[in-house]
């Protein structure tokens, strides 16, 4: 079984990179690592209701090829079907015992008022 046919979105993978700031400290920035094909599941009605509350977190399952280089702490960026920009913070990445896909648990990053 191949999950490739279901991976209809392209998401950029941004990874935190630490560099010296020239003054004895360090700065952490996000660096583009590449693009992956993905399927982003919609949250359940219950999750949407909870996410509408102030201060709540909005989670999504993101499905990838098992060889995709995505790690905890990465940020996935892309657009939804309506062309609206989305950013997801990767909380964990898991694979089944037979690696036919990778499942990412990610948090949707929304600006205040969005």
* Six token digits for residue 35: 């693009």
At 81 the pLDDT is 85
Instruction: Provide the pairing of β-strand 9-20 with 75-79.
Output: antiparallel
At 55 the pLDDT is 60
In the predicted structure, residue 68 carries a pLDDT above the cut 90 = yes
DSSP-assigned beta bridge partners for residue 77 = 12, 87
Predicted TM-score (pTM) of this structure: 0.82
Mean pLDDT of 103-113: 84
User: What are the residues whose beta carbons fall under 8 Å from the beta carbon of 75, sequence distance 6 or more?
Assistant: 13, 14, 15, 30, 87, 88, 89, 90, 109
DSSP-assigned beta bridge partners for residue 31 = 15
The rounded mean pLDDT for the chain is 86
At 66 the pLDDT is 92
**CA 75 to CA 1: how far, in whole Å?**
28
């Amino acid at each position: 079984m191949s999950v490739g046919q279901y991976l209809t979105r392209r998401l950029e993978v941004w990874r935190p990179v630490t560099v010296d700031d020239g003054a004895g400290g360090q700065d952490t920035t996000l660096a583009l690592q590449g693009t992956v094909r993905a399927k982003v599941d919609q949250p359940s009605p219950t999750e949407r209701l909870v996410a509408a509350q102030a201060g709540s977190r909005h989670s999504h399952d993101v499905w990838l090829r098992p060889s995709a280089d995505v790690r905890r702490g990465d940020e996935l960026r892309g657009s939804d079907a309506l062309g609206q920009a989305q950013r997801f913070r990767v909380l964990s990445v898991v694979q089944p015992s037979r690696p036919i896909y990778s499942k990412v648990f990610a948090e949707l990053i929304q600006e205040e008022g969005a």
